[in-house]
Amino acid sequence: MYACGPTVYNYPHIGNMRKYIADDVLVRVLRQNNFEVQRFVNITDVGHLTQDEFDTGEDKIVAAARREGKSPLAIAEFYSQAFFTDVDQLNVLPPESYIKASDHIPEMQQLTTRLIKKGHAYVSNGRVYFDVCSFEPYGRLSGNTVAQLQERVRAELKKEVFEQKRNPADFALWIKAEANHILQWPSPWGAGYPGWHIECAAMILKHLGDTIDVHTGGEDHIFPHHEDEIAEAQAATGKPLARTWLHVRHLFVEGKKMSKRAGTFIRVEDIKAKGFHPLAFRFLVLGTHYRSHLNFTWRSMRSAQEGWLRYVETIRKLREMQATAQKNDSPPAELLSRLKRIDVDFDKALNDDLATPRALAASSELIGVSNTHLAGHAGLSTINALLERFLHMDELLGLLPHFDEQLSDNEQKNLYDLLAERTRLRAAKEYAKADAVRESLQKMGYELQEHDLHIRWTKIATGQSGTFTP
């Protein structure tokens, strides 16, 4: 399995993260079905131009280096680490390997030479282009035809740019570098750097072979990136590049494309800053099928957090009761039958093209069943049966935070002092002041569930929770 990874010139946004969550669920489901998964994720640190469809513009890493006054290496390292932090917070399992484009320049040059020798590529003014007319299947993944692409290019590019090509739709495998360009390597065609598309093709062929089982990416990768990858690899090997493609649809914010200018470029850190747990965002993503557009709103984020907290709290209660159960029991036959049906519905959903909304519906039913039996003071065998189902689900959903995190003594004292103050104010019917304390706790990142005899608190940033009894 090969997954198109980040171009590390800026922070990843939540639309990017949706794709990696979908990849992660796929890996978990495949392993659950006893497949051995070898997954590689690339880090694009060279060659991704600002106008990649037309091989024009500036390398995004170089542009970021100039904008921030850093070296390209420093830019790539900084934003790579930002990416690793985000996927880790979202419980995305690490791949077998992250592979950097800049570490594979020799392999890209070798593949380019191979394509020239086979008549699929040509040299023009220090650049090497792939001849799309030499590859008859070109356009089958995206539905584009060469004629359509000619019209699109004519509308977009100046005459002097595409006159260097045999066909306006031809794309660059190797790009001539200007003398002062800070990312360049020697090559048989002169100093330069690789085109974006040749990078993934070369890395797949080196690490995973001529044909892989699964290739994933966002829907914006379909054309030109994946279309061009197919052309390069298949023209060189004569074999299909991938047996299966998974493309994740776009995430919109309030119905519109994300935009820094409009203030809708949202990161995982922005979600946390508003008091939401990153795994609540994962819950939100799983609520929409990966082949459907997802419209992000802060209202939907609040709803997702409520659903995620119900899920986490139910499992936490089961674990607490498992540790303190005073009696054993025999789970009722009716309960076991219902649990079996929930199991079947859950597994069937994920095996049906990763139908995560249906899988979440099955988990919601299990929450209801669990709470009913917990209210009846279930014994150890019933608790174990319920918890076993949840843990199976979470192996695939990946929604549980780390339960071993604890508040510091000072944090807990401050929290409990405020909860005691809120309780005192409510008893004195000073409701405005009591609400002000609650608002302070919410700003500190705590979610409260208040009951007659106790208050259940959850620290959103970590998923930690506990019970305060006045």
Top pLDDT among 55 and 380 is at: 380
Identify the CATH number of the domain defined by range 2-248.
3.40.50.620
Least confident of 46-55, 222-231, 276-285: 46-55
Other CB atoms within a 10 A radius of the CB of residue 186 amount to 10
Q: Report the range of poorest mean pLDDT among 59-63, 195-199, 291-295.
A: 59-63
pLDDT value at position 3? Answer: 96
- Residue 338, pLDDT > 90, answer yes
| Token pair of 314 as six digits | 């139910």
Q: Report the pLDDT value the prediction gives residue 273, as an integer from 0 to 100.
A: 87
Query: Which CATH number applies to 268-397?
Result: 1.10.730
Average pLDDT over residues 359-363: 98
Written as six digits, the tokens of 152 are: 């699109």
pLDDT for residue 403 is more than 60 = no
Nearest-CA neighbor of 31 among 351, 415, 456, 436?
351
406: left (phi over 0), alpha (psi -120 to 50) or beta: beta
CB 238 within 8 A of CB 120: no
Q: Is the pLDDT of residue 247 over 90?
A: yes
Poorest-confidence range of 20-34, 138-152, 307-321, 361-375? 138-152
Label residue 64 by pLDDT band (50, 70, 90): confident
Quick check: 47 pLDDT over 70? no
Q: What share of the chain has pLDDT > 90, as a percent? A: 63
Answer positive or negative: Cα dihedral of 439, 442, 444, 447.
positive
Task: Give the pLDDT band (50/70/90) at residue 452.
Answer: low
Across the chain, mean pLDDT equals 89
Q: Range with the lowest mean pLDDT among 95-99, 178-182, 386-390? A: 178-182
- Burial of 419: CB neighbours in 10 Å, binned 0-12, 13-18, 19+: buried
Digit-coded pLDDT (tens) for 102-133? 999 999 999 999 999 999 999 998 899 999 99
Domain ranges of the chain: 2-248, 268-397, 409-468
In this predicted structure, the answer to whether residue 56 has a pLDDT above a threshold of 60 is no
Give the model's confidence band at 413: pLDDT under 50 very low, under 70 low, under 90 confident, else very high: confident
Query: Of 121 and 445, which is predicted with more confidence?
Result: 121
38 and 213 Cβ atoms separated by less than 8 Å: no
> Residue with structure tokens 């890395």?
203
Model confidence band, residue 462 (pLDDT cutoffs 50, 70, 90): low
Distance between CA atoms of 256 and 139, rounded to whole angstroms? 28
The pairing of beta strand 40-43 with beta strand 97-100 = parallel
* Residue-level pLDDT at 428: 92
pLDDT average, residue stretch 325-331: 84
Please answer whether residues 288 and 22 qualify as being in contact, where contact means their C-beta atoms are separated by less than 8 angstroms.
no
